[in-house]
Amino acid sequence: MHSTIVDSPTDRPRIFSHLTRTRFLHIEDSLERGKLRFFIGSFERGKGSSSMAYAFLDVDDARVVFSDMAWGKPVEFIDFKGGRDSRFHALISRVLKIDTKAGMPREASAVWIEVQNGPGQQLGDGAVKPDGLPSLAISIPLTIFEARTLAFACLAYMQAWDVARLVRRPGAAAKQDDLSNCH
């Protein structure tokens, strides 16, 4: 069975990818919308993916979560979002969980990233909450070092995106000329 709650793919640059023997995680650029997209799935070698899901993380939240992860601090983060599925127009709940599980010794600790997709219920303010159990939940473990690598890659990408956006702003070239005349 191929269970999927994924909208049609678009051309999103991948910021970070992580593969295990049965799972994949891609963090993708959705910064024009102020978000990062976590695309996660499970697969069997030689058979392809068996399930895929995604969730979004606001950039402001990403900076804090990834800053803590980059320094190896324990992270316990959960984010509830959702929206309409582009094919069926059903309301979908998208939950992202990032959680550090302590191990003994500390080297055995892991950061688990989980995405849950399922039926959603719209609240009065437009937010979407899960409506019952998720129809799909996929998680992937990362060592502390792998999680730090993920965090630094995403933070560097977001910073480069910020710089590029500032340079493209109207008047940025004139300001740059002013700075180059300061000897």
User: Residue 134 maps to which CATH number?
Assistant: 2.30.31
Q: What pLDDT is stored for residue 174 in this prediction?
A: 52
Q: For residue 144, tell me if it sits in a domain.
A: yes
Q: For residue 182, tell me if it sits in a domain.
A: no
Tokens 């650029």 map to which residue? 29
Nearest CA among 143, 50, 70 for reference residue 103:
143
Could you list the pLDDT tens digit for every one of the 183 residues in the chain? Answer: 334 444 445 678 999 999 999 999 999 999 999 999 999 999 888 787 789 999 999 999 999 999 999 999 999 999 999 998 878 788 999 999 999 998 766 667 899 999 999 999 998 887 899 999 999 999 999 999 999 999 999 999 999 999 998 888 777 655 555 555 555
Q: For residue 172, tell me if it sits in a domain.
A: no
Q: What is the total count of domains within the chain?
A: 1
Q: For residue 93, tell me if it sits in a domain.
A: yes
Q: For residue 43, tell me if it sits in a domain.
A: yes
Q: Give 112's strand partners.
A: 99, 141
Q: For residue 178, tell me if it sits in a domain.
A: no
The amino acid at residue 45 is R
Domain span holding position 155: 3-163
Q: For residue 150, tell me if it sits in a domain.
A: yes
Sign for the pseudo-dihedral over CA of 100, 103, 107, 112: negative
Q: What pLDDT is stored for residue 144 in this prediction?
A: 93
Q: What pLDDT is stored for residue 3 in this prediction?
A: 43
For residue 105, say if its preceding peptide bond is cis, omega within 30 degrees of 0: yes
